[in-house]
Amino acid sequence: MGIIREIVERDAAAWKLNLTASMLDQLEEYASLLLDWNTRMNLTAIKEPEGVAVRHFADSLSLLTTVDLPKGATVIDVGTGAGFPGMVLKIVRPDLELTLLDSLNKRLIFLDALKTQLGLDANLVHLRAEDGGRRPELRDRFDLATARAVAPLNVLCEWCLPYVKPGGRFAAMKGPDAGEEAVSAAKAIHELNGTLKEERNLTLSDGSKRAILLMEKKGSTPQKYPRMAAKIQKAPL
């Protein structure tokens, strides 16, 4: 798994991030556990160490090139899957107060094993995104919400902006069509008391195009949002 270390160290340096030997050790352990568990359950379509290093680890780290998180910031990763970008951020920034939310319990079972093996703290929440946004303990609470390519941006905003406290931010990690998505999601962003602050376009070391759309929350979430799943699906903002 030495290739993981080599690629992540190189790509992190391209993002101007300096990772310690301990962080690289943890990422190697992460990759090993992920690929092992992936033989028994579908956690990722990427099955090669090189792909994990670039398309999961380096991609997750790119978020730190756009978002400046203060020490002890509260972060929620919505639809975290196998922990991207949340657990990678936690390895590099162990001071973060991290919540990982996913609708599939099998993923959270993996993440529980992962955080135990790596000696990291994270709050695991088994809920659909739109249900969690109505929970008082999660609503309007976080400095940062993030999600990586899990839905069209207008839907993603209704899932994620309710978690963000006024003055906090939502970082949507998207592909090369992010600019078009931002235009079509303008109504949703406005309705949810958000404003688009930055679009950052990135290229991973394998040539993959990525973009991060950074939104700021101007006020508390309007009471009617997020709507029930059927309404979001039938009439997205």
Encoded amino acid at 92, one letter = V
Residue 151 above 90 pLDDT? no
Residue 159 lies in a domain: yes
Residue 102 lies in a domain: yes
CATH number of the domain encompassing residue 163: 3.40.50.150
Domain total for the chain? Answer: 1
Residue 57 lies in a domain: no
Residue 89 lies in a domain: yes
Beta-bridged to residue 102, according to DSSP, are: 126
Residue 55 lies in a domain: no
Residue 79 lies in domain: 70-234
Cβ-Cβ contacts under 8 Å for 6 (sequence gap 6 or more):
none
Res 87: pLDDT: 98
Q: What is the mean pLDDT of the chain?
A: 95
Q: What is the pLDDT of residues 12-57, one digit of tens each?
A: 999 899 999 999 999 999 999 999 999 999 999 999 999 999 999 9
Res 1: pLDDT: 64
Res 177: pLDDT: 86
Residue 46 lies in a domain: no
CB contact at 8 A, 162 and 219: no
CB contact at 8 A, 122 and 148: no
Residue 35 lies in a domain: no
Res 11: pLDDT: 93
Residue 178 above 90 pLDDT? no
CA 16/CA 190 separation, integer angstroms: 33
Classify each residue of 73-82 as buried b or exposed e, where b means 16 or more C-beta atoms within 10 Å of its C-beta: bbbbbbbbbb
Whole-model pTM: value is: 0.96
Residue 113 lies in a domain: yes
Residue 189 above 80 pLDDT? yes
